[in-house]
Copies of this chain bind each other. A is one copy, B any other.
Amino acid sequence: MLHISILGAGNLAYHLAKRISQIQGVNLLQIYNRSPFSFHFDSFKQAQIGNLSELLAADIYIICIKDEEIATFSTLLPLKNQFVVHTSGNTPMEVLADTHRKGVLYPVQSFSKEKEIAFSQIPLCLEAQHPSDYALLEDFAKKLSPLVYKMSSQQRKQLHIGAVFANNFANHLWYISEKHCQKHDIDFRILRPLLQETYQKTLQMSFYEAQTGPARRADTITIEKHLSLLDGIDQQIYKILTQSILQAYEKC
């Protein structure tokens, strides 16, 4: 039986606790939070603690707190030579205090307490200082999800950049598009089916092949017309992304 303790009570902590309670061979030993737990954690009442001095011996301690607080928090843990992992995509393993055997369990997904999520479909990126700890972490992670990947802090940092482009920036472009339509009194619902098609297309072909539009066709007349109808930062964004597409297809 693997004994797991979770440190923190945010969205990830909640989904992790729930998942652990569903799987065999793993025991959710304790959940620590410095402030009172939200009602979401009611089914884990017995495991709740509010003081780090109450921490019992666990196989893995999983830190689920804000990225910028991980380093300091890890120095406060009254543990010695225990296996402590954080769950941040954007934080090197090394920031954990040297008093611990260090590791990372990074679930590549965004969590909110209100939305159910199939943990079994979440890729988990793992790292550990010691091979034996890696084996332990992998054993645990594979019970959470079959999508387990070994990944260095260096790679994880690059993955996070990839996520910013694919998710944060793509969402922002949708926002710009919606704002542009609103400005011209156009119902954005007109673009919704196309948005869905654009997304679904990429499940069937590569992004490279799926590319369409004026820049893909090197249609400079349309590009110039569009630029003349835009201003400010939207115009700059149009220009640089068009330039990038032209470069990708070597049409510039």
Contact = CB atoms under 8 A, between A and B. Distances in A.
A117 B48 CA distance: 52
A195 B171 contact: no
Interface in A165-191: 165-178, 180-181, 183-191
Interface in A42-65: none
Nearest to A106: B190
B176 A158 contact: no
Interface in A132-166: 147, 149, 151, 155, 157-166
Contacts of A169: 173, 213, 237-238, 241
Interface string A196-239: 01110110001110111111100001100110011001101110
Interface stretch (A1-9, A12-20, A24-32, A243-251): A243-251
B173 A170 contact: yes
A229 B172 CA distance: 21
Interface residues of A, number: 83
A96 interface: no
A166 B169 CA distance: 11
Contact of A172 (B151, B186, B244): B244
Contact of A237 (B189, B190, B240): B240
Contacts of A155: 184-186
Interface of A: 68, 90, 108-110, 121-123, 125, 147, 149, 151, 155, 157-178, 180-181, 183-195, 197-199, 201-202, 206-208, 210-216, 221-222, 225-226, 229-230, 233-234, 236-238, 240-241, 243-245, 247-248
Given A123-B190, A164-B238, A170-B170, 13 more contacts: A108-B193, A157-B229, A158-B180, A161-B230, A163-B194, A163-B213, A168-B216, A170-B174, A173-B173, A173-B241, A174-B202, A174-B207, A233-B247
